[in-house]
Structure 1
Amino acid sequence: MRFQWLKDYQELDEQIVYLKWNLNKSRLERNRWVYGDLQNVRLEKNSRASSLEENMARIEQEIELLEEQRTEMLAIINSFAGIDNEIIKKKYIDGCSLDVIAEEIGYSASYVRQRHAEIRKTLDFLDQYEEKMQDKQNKLIEIDDYNRNASEVRQISLF
């Protein structure tokens, strides 16, 4: 497949976002047990809640590993030559508009749009990627909201 690197990068990025969301959810649950409505409930030895801290540490390690892999993958992607690779990288990894891409690489906007349209015809997974980008943004906003309010000790609900 011609742009398999993009699909691999997208899958890696989705894994990282999911793990961050899962970590956020675990933190919310932990806060319920420590500060919230469950603080007076006794934990069972083998319950999910009793291993929450261990699970969070495991998720954090996995996120760190995947982010290192993403950094390595970006270094490889940045070494690829060719205008098509440059357009795809700037559009789907860097998030640039086609007009900005044209300006940065020194081609006309109409030529970049034409190349992008031709590339899209051969890459059916790009449509799915653009749909998933909105979901990713929503999850990142949710994580940011939690992190902004993390210092507040208050009742937190998972629902």
Structure 2
Amino acid sequence: MGYTTNFYGEFKLNTTLDKNTADLIKGIATTRRMKRSIPILAKKFNISEELALLKFGIDGEFYFDKGDFCNFGQSEDSTIIDINTPPKRQPSLWCQWYYFETTNSIKWDEGEKFYNYIEWIKYIINVILEPRKYKVTGTVNWQGEDDSDKGTIAIKDNLIDIF
């Protein structure tokens, strides 16, 4: 049980994403976001904690295992601090903004019960895309189950307006 919201539209990128950035957005959108231990990730990958923090971000926010996509990244391992707490900068356990190469855009993946969608697109832009010099422009309308739950996310060159 939960609350469903539908989304219509897309956010276009100014240029095709490089493979690492595309994989990162897809990985985040495909897996449960769980707070992870940087020291344990460092040991797991035999790298320094400093390098692990650069590679995987705060609380492992950039970590995902492509081999666990079939389980939506929910397999438990020793790196997880709390399965029900997302990394500090991520707004929730699930992100459903997905990058589509065919349209060079970020769109809703059509999964049910997408919460914190405004915070998630802000996170994707501010933490992932803008530091890599990408620009996002587009409009997405949302409609929740309640008739009054509707609105628009309008983005132009990474500047976000909600109405």
Judge same fold: TM > 0.5, yes or no. no
The structure with more strand, counted as a fraction of residues:
2
The structure with more helix, counted as a fraction of residues:
1
Work out which of the two has the higher radius of gyration on C-alpha atoms and give 1 or 2.
1
When the two structures are superposed, what TM-score results if normalisation uses the length of structure 2? 0.26
Q: RCO greater where, 1 or 2, for CA within 8 Å and sep 6 or more?
A: 1
When the two structures are superposed, what TM-score results if normalisation uses the length of structure 1? 0.27
